[in-house]
């Protein structure tokens, strides 16, 4: 989706609930009564779990009118009414308001460069108010892209206090999404709880294989023929959060660990950027540590 396709009158609704007859009709009728025009609708029913998921992108002309706030309030009230009737969990995102994304990094730069270049080109529609790091190594990259850089040295003794500072900073900057672009720190449950389903991590392995800090070394020891990368939401269980995006490439016995690291970086970049993009475009619903990702 290009920047030109976004409109002040456009919004996206994500819903999930127990499956039952009439859900699609109820949501469509509610939006019709609001004066909205549905641009795209996609749905999924998990028959085994008995759960319904839907994404609806629509135009409501009043959202671009002189009384936008009142129109948004009326729309939210309409969705809330339908949601209460069917026990829905719902999210309503207005496309005129870009998400604000903070990027957390350590010393490795390939994912950071990729995100910043895609953002500059307009591929990722968001604002990037800051880059946070536990090292000074990538400050120059942030300066190249004119993004504020905040350095928080972390050790076992100060970790809890530093995370509180970071949380306060993210709140002050109205950050909607945290992206761990090879940030080599384990976030606490307290940190994650403040941004539930809003922290995306890139792991340099095709999870659930080779979790932890040295997956390429483990892959080399096992002589695998495929290596991959996994983007997932961070949870209190390390590398076990809901998976958003994955990909793999073929390798052979000829590759050294250094070769696997080099080849894997390309996969990491593309997997992370795709995961960030679908989050920014409100295409993901989470249920029972799994994701429904609408195309």
Mean pLDDT over 212-225 rounds to: 90
Report the pLDDT value the prediction gives residue 199, as an integer from 0 to 100.
98
Q: How far, in Å, are 99, 155, 201 from residue 133 at the CA level?
A: 21, 13, 14
In DSSP terms, 16 is beta-bridged to 53, 89
pLDDT computed for residue 2 by the predictor: 45
* Measured distance CA(233)–CA(237) in Å, rounded: 11
* Cα gap 38→94, rounded to integer Å: 14
Check residue 212 and give its pLDDT.
Answer: 80
CATH architecture under which domain 99-293 falls:
3-Layer(aba) Sandwich (3.40)
Give the pLDDT of residue 4: 44
The pLDDT of residue 238: 86
**Per-residue CA distances from 82 to 24, 27, 73, 77, 221 (Å):** 11, 7, 15, 9, 54
d(CA 284, CA 281): 8
List pLDDT tens digits, range 264-293: 999 999 999 999 999 999 999 999 999 999
Residue 239 is a catalytic residue: yes
- What pLDDT shows up at residue 3? 43
Per residue in 159-193, pLDDT (tens digit) is 999 999 999 999 999 999 999 999 999 999 999 99
What pLDDT, in 10s, does the model give residues 67-121? 889 989 999 999 999 999 999 999 999 998 899 999 999 999 999 999 999 999 9
Q: What whole-number percentage of the chain has pLDDT above 70?
A: 98
Q: Which of 239, 259, 266, 288 is catalytic?
A: 239
Q: Read off the pLDDT band of 209 (50, 70, 90).
A: confident
pLDDT band for position 210 (cuts 50, 70, 90): confident
Mean pLDDT of 207-211: 84
pLDDT at 6: 64
Domain boundaries, the chain: 3-94, 99-293
Instruction: Say what the pTM is.
Output: 0.93
Which tokens go with 138? 């990538």
- State the chain's mean pLDDT as an integer: 94
CATH 3.30.70.260 is right for the domain spanning 3-94: yes
pLDDT band of 5, cuts 50, 70, 90: low
Q: State yes or no: pLDDT of 1 exceeds 70.
A: no
Omega before 139 cis (within 30°)?
A: no
| CA dist., res. 206 & res. 182, Å (int) | 15
Separation of alpha carbons 290 and 48, rounded Å? 13
pLDDT digits (tens, 9 = 90+) for 36-47: 999 999 999 999
**Residue 8 reports pLDDT greater than 90:** no
């Amino acid at each position: 989706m290009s920047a030109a396709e976004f409109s002040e009158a456009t919004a996206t609704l994500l819903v999930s609930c127990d499956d039952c007859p009439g859900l699609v009709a109820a949501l469509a009728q509610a939006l019709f009564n609001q004066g909205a025009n549905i641009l795209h609708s996609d749905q999924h029913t998990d028959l085994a779990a008995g759960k319904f998921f839907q994404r609806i992108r629509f135009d409501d002309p009043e959202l671009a009118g002189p009384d936008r706030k009142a129109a948004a309030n009326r729309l939210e009230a309409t969705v809330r009414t339908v949601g209460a009737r069917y026990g829905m969990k719902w999210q309503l995102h207005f496309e005129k308001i870009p998400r604000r994304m903070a990027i957390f990094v350590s010393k490795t730069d390939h994912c950071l460069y990729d995100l910043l270049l895609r953002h500059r080109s307009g591929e990722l529609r968001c604002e990037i108010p800051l880059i946070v790091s536990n090292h000074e190594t990538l400050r120059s990259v942030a300066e190249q892209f004119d993004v504020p850089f905040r350095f928080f040295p972390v050790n076992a003794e100060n970790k809890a206090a530093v995370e509180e500072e970071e949380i306060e900073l993210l709140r002050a900057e109205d950050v909607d999404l945290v992206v761990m672009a090879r940030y080599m720190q384990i976030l606490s449950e307290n940190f994650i709880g403040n941004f539930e389903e809003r922290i995306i991590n890139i792991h340099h392995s095709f999870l659930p294989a080779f979790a932890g800090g040295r997956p390429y070394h483990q892959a080399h020891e096992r002589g695998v023929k495929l290596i991959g990368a996994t983007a997932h939401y961070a949870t209190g269980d390390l590398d076990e959060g809901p998976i958003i995006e994955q990909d793999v490439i073929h390798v052979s016995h000829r590759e050294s660990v250094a070769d696997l690291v080099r080849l894997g970086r390309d996969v990491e970049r593309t997997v992370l950027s795709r995961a960030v993009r679908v989050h920014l475009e409100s295409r993901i619903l989470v249920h029972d540590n799994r994701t429904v990702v609408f195309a």
